[in-house]
Amino acid sequence: MTQIEQTATPGKTPAGKIEYVRQQEARRLARRSFMRVSVFAGLTLSIGAMAAGTLAFFNLRRPTGFGGVVNVTKARIPTAGDDPARISEGKFWLANLQGAEGDVLGVGGTGGLLALYWKCPHLGCTVPWSPNFDGAAVNFPGIKGWFRCPCHGSTYSRAGIRVYGPAPRPMDTMALTINPDGSLNVDTGKITGGAADNPLRTVAYNG
């Protein structure tokens, strides 16, 4: 108080002096609360940033395996007409269709690569490839080699077309791109529900 009174010159009247001191005090308080708000805001921000960083730590930058992009080297790609290749890390069958092969319903398939998600659309069993299964048992005589679910007997052609069993739809397919070096990238996170047009989803491959 005494210091302020000594330095305070404005206001000759006592009321002026009181007003000056009051303003000084108000400014001091305002400065202090501003500092306090800034400190706590800064603290909240930095702790928030660290918490966000910690959460991000649990994120993988390039997820591999099922759910991410699975690379299939050229050597593993079956030649046209061969049995489908089992790509276990991506949970799919890689079929290389020759011409209208597998297009049992005749929707106009022209052949090429097709990645078929191996999960049965019925109740989720893993569908194996049965190379010796005769199509005669499911009214498609002459065609050997079918996908046949061990759980309830749903049967699918090379292109995943359902021809028999309780499955509600053909096998699901995955997005597939061909790299310049002849290998494949299959996005196992991008699964399209199977439909009659499965044979039309093929990607031509001349590798």
Partner 1 sequence: MAVETPAKPSLSDKLYDKMFHNYVWKSIFRTGYPNTPRNQMLIVATNVFLHLHPTRLHRTHVKVTHTYCLGGLSFFMFLGLTVTGILLMFYYVPSVERAYLDMQNIETTVQFGQLMRNMHRWMAHAMVILVFMHMMRVFYTGAYKPPREFNWVIGVILLVLTFLLSFTGYLLPWDQLAFWAITVGTNIAGAAPVLGPKSRFWLLGGFEVGPNALIRFYTLHVIGLPLLAAIFMAVHFWRIRRDGGLARPL
The one-letter amino acid at 33:
S
Among the residue ranges 58-66, 142-150, 173-181, 193-201, the one whose residues contact partner 1 (CB under 8 A): 58-66
Side chain identity, residue 44 = T
- State which of positions 2-21 bind partner 1 (CB under 8 A): 15
Q: How far is the CB of 25 from partner 1 (least distance, A)?
A: 14
Does the protein bind partner 1 through residue 142 (CB under 8 A)?
no
Residue whose structure tokens are 């050229």? 74
By CB under 8 A, the count of residues binding partner 1 is 10
- Asked if residues 143 and 135 have their Cβ atoms less than 8 Å apart, the reply is yes
Structure tokens at 106: 């005749």
Backbone angles phi, psi at 92, to 5 degrees: -145, 160
Q: Give the span between the Cα atoms of 5 and 2, in whole angstroms.
A: 5
Residue 141 interacts with partner 1 (CB under 8 A)? Answer: no
* φ, ψ for residue 48, nearest 5 deg: -60, -45
Q: Exactly one of 6, 7, 58, 204 binds partner 1 (CB under 8 A); which one?
A: 58
- Stretch in the footprint of partner 1 (CB under 8 A) among 50-58, 80-88, 132-140, 197-205: 50-58
Identified binder of partner 1 from the candidate list 2, 3, 6, 54, rule CB under 8 A: 54
